[in-house]
Chain A
């Protein structure tokens, strides 16, 4: 059983560019959440998708957007990249009503 998979594993972008990160949830899971983890910090909740809609959002600007597809996979898009967007981006999946979240290995984004 494949767990949560994320792609790519590493990415380097230039300030002002746009980036798309991808996540496939664990088999049978229907809810995807995205987190940003800056170096030395805990993960911060960005948003959550369920039934192809953004259900909840953390304190992140509109430059961060997402999408969920009918097969439950998800994308995270970040526009107008800033140096401060450099972080590990984690995807987590769950299935309602379970509370246990399964995390992917993350995408390491470096903005230069």
Chain B
């Protein structure tokens, strides 16, 4: 158990809908990262937040957005869903020690768009 929690575990929805995925980082971790894992693209970095501020962006679609709240939990919002958005979505939180940063991943949310 990494200490990172994600809800829900599974989500089934229809095209055109909007969903929100939630991530609670490990206690004390200020950074949250979101990743998407689809069958054809592998694990891809989407976005990073640090203490409430967006820090880095990866291959995140404009239909997707995220935020990190004062209690440090984060939400990933996916809108106008398409079949191709079906994937596993992971969040990770990180700790910095001895000059390096290690990310710990949650169990993921499996999204199925029908």
Binding between chains A and B:
no
Residues of B within 8 A of A (CB): none
